[in-house]
Amino acid sequence: MFNKTTLFLALVLFALTSCTSKQEAEQAAKNSPSPSEAATPQPEVHGSEVKTVELTNPLNKDWVATGKTIYESKCLACHKLTDEKVVGPGWAGVTKKRKPEWVLNMITNVEMMLEKDEEAQKLLEQCLVRMPNQNVTQEDARKILEFMRANDGEK
């Protein structure tokens, strides 16, 4: 009989399976592109490793401002600008401690970093939470890096 309990169980099951893995869902979506997506491929937001980054000197003020806005909407929940850890490590000193390429890969290729990079794996051991992919483009990631450099006192 299709009673309320069955419906409830179905909903619970749906809720559970829908949260278990966003990655799986994304993967599935990738594997079966809709015809419109196939016709107009979306720009690659992650997946290609960043090998070189050119640093500007002095800082690009526009990028710092945009980077700050992105930080506030996508990163602030887990990262403070001090050295205090929340969910992820605080950002104070991050640009002194890490190479710019490393930082960009952490932002745009976090899955790869957690799989291959020892430093990233150490952070995961400390934080016990995998940083989720924030779907930040490489361009935006570069602006966030500029904001991090400003946060570390560069002019």
Q: Which is nearer to ligand HEC, 33 or 132 (CB)?
A: 132
User: Of 117, 112, 135, 155, which is closest to residue 44 (Cα–Cα)?
Assistant: 135
**Site for ligand HEC contains 79 (CB under 6 A):** yes
Q: How far, in Å, are 26, 63, 68, 79, 113 from residue 13 at the CA level?
A: 19, 44, 39, 33, 32
Determine which residue in the list 45, 53, 59, 78 makes contact with ligand HEC, applying CB under 6 A.
78
First and final CA of the chain: distance in angstroms?
69
Instruction: Choose which of 131, 138, 142, 151 interacts with ligand HEC (CB under 6 A).
Output: 131
Residue nearer to ligand HEC on the CB measure, 37 or 72: 72
- Joined together, the tokens standing for residue 84 give 């205090």
Contacting residues toward ligand HEC, per CB under 6 A: 74-75, 77-79, 87-89, 94, 98, 103, 106-107, 114, 120, 123-124, 127, 129-132, 134, 136, 144
